[in-house]
Homo-oligomer: A and B are copies of this chain.
């Protein structure tokens, strides 16, 4: 049920980028230093985020990353799915990566019902929370 460091670092960096959304690009080094993240590791994460069209980049001096969209239009769900995969506790209730689980009768499975509810609750919270929501007190 835990987020990977990759996911956690990515979210922290994006939260930082959201805070600096007005203004020029922010370098990996600055992001890493401010948020206590190993900088070479963060570099890879930023690349994933770029390929996932969550950030844009600018090369060269004074280059760096900035959000590809305004903070209100980037949900935590999108980021977590990109960096950490599906939100479901078990694959038989996943929207994005369904797989049967091997229980005798899927429809009658009580465990499945509960895990479906957990997935729905988590997904709803993550889909309704944007990077902008992370900033407001």
Residues of A within 8 A of B (CB): 1-3, 8, 11-12, 15, 34-37, 76, 80, 84-91, 101-104, 108-111, 113-115, 117-118, 121-122, 125-126, 129, 133-137
Q: Are B89 and A34 in contact (CB under 8 A)?
A: no
**A114 and B134: CB pair below 8 A?**
yes
State the majority secondary structure of interface residues on A. helix
- By the criterion CB–CB under 8 Å, are B104 and A35 in contact? yes
A114's partner among B12, B37, B90, B129 (CB-CB below 8 A) is B129
Asked if B125 and A121 sit within 8 Å, CB to CB, the answer is yes
Per the bound structure, the CA–CA distance linking A115 and B84 in Å amounts to 15
Shortest distance from the beta carbon of A75 to any chain B beta carbon, whole Å: 11
